A and B are shown apart, each in its own frame.
Chain A
Amino acid sequence: GQQVQQSPSSLVLQEGENAELQCNFSSTATQLQWFYQSPGGSLVSLLSNPSGTKHTGRLTSTTVTKERRSSLHISSSQTTDSGTYLCAIDQTGNTRKLIFGLGTTLQVQP
């Protein structure tokens, strides 16, 4: 099964509302990274957060390593936040490759 599961798969919000995105993973992770992908665009790293809480701008990520879960909170959403948010983990080991979830597609309506 999928090693990284994200929920919800899609989310529609009105501008100004907050969004909460979840990421659960089935194996130990030495690293966890949240990415943003605009429609038809490439991936941009938002936050690298293997444990604890990190803030950047309107984004807050909280990762509980022992429970193998992470969340991404987007406050006061804007229409420009629309796109796909991907969670990826770097498994324990020497390869240091990322395993991605399928993403949450966010649509923020004006």
Chain B
Amino acid sequence: DAGVTQTPRHEVAEKGQTIILKCEPVSGHNDLFWYRQTKIQGLELLSYFRSKSLMEDGGAFKDRFKAEMLNSSFSTLKIQPTEPKDSAVYLCASRGQGSSYEQYFGPGTRLTVL
């Protein structure tokens, strides 16, 4: 079974650009999460979908960050416009139903904003 896939693995953007990160969850998983990881803040939740419905949009990240899930097997995270402080690793994770609650993570996209 394929795990969570993310593309691209690396992205370099100029300040002010729009970038779109992509994620494909594990087949059959209902929950999808987008996180940002930095050394100082650790992992911060950006968005959380359940069965394609947006359950949480990450509060402070609302203004320039927009996650969408058009179908159950594909999600995008758009950052518009990018700022240097957005440089981080962006991780996507999915989780199936059931009591285990375990999340499965993708390899991440390392974003550098110049």
Binding site for B on A (CB under 8 A): 30-31, 33, 35, 41-45, 48, 86, 88, 90, 95-98, 100-103
In the complex, are the beta carbons of A43 and B45 less than 8 A apart? no
Given A43-B91, A100-B43, residue A48 in contact with residue B102 (CB < 8 A): yes
In the complex, are the beta carbons of B102 and A95 less than 8 A apart? no
Q: Mark B46-80, 1 if CB is under 8 A from A, else 0.
A: 00100000011000000000000000000000000
Cβ of B102: which chain A residues have Cβ within 8 Å of it?
A: 33, 45, 48
Report how far A98 CA is from B48 CA in the complex, Å. 10
User: Taking chain A's interface residues, is the majority helix, strand, or loop, or is none over half, making it mixed?
Assistant: strand
In the complex, are the beta carbons of A101 and B42 less than 8 A apart? yes
Number of A-B contacts (CB under 8 A): 44
List the B residue with the shortest CB-CB distance to A32. B101
In the complex, are the beta carbons of A97 and B48 less than 8 A apart? yes
Query: Considering the complex, which residues of chain B in the window 31-46 have a beta carbon less than 8 Å from any beta carbon of chain A?
Result: 31, 33, 42-43, 45
Given A42-B91, A97-B56, A102-B42, residue A33 in contact with residue B108 (CB < 8 A): no
In the complex, are the beta carbons of A43 and B31 less than 8 A apart? no
Binding site for A on B (CB under 8 A): 31, 33, 42-43, 45, 48, 55-56, 91, 93, 100-108
Listed from nearest, the 8 A-B pairs whose CB atoms lie closest are: A100-B43, A43-B105, A31-B101, A102-B42, A42-B107, A42-B105, A48-B102, A45-B102
In the complex, are the beta carbons of B91 and A48 less than 8 A apart? no
Cβ of A103: which chain B residues have Cβ within 8 Å of it?
A: 42
List the B residue with the shortest CB-CB distance to A40. B110
Cβ of A45: which chain B residues have Cβ within 8 Å of it?
A: 102-104
In the complex, are the beta carbons of B42 and A42 less than 8 A apart? no
In the complex, are the beta carbons of B45 and A97 less than 8 A apart? yes
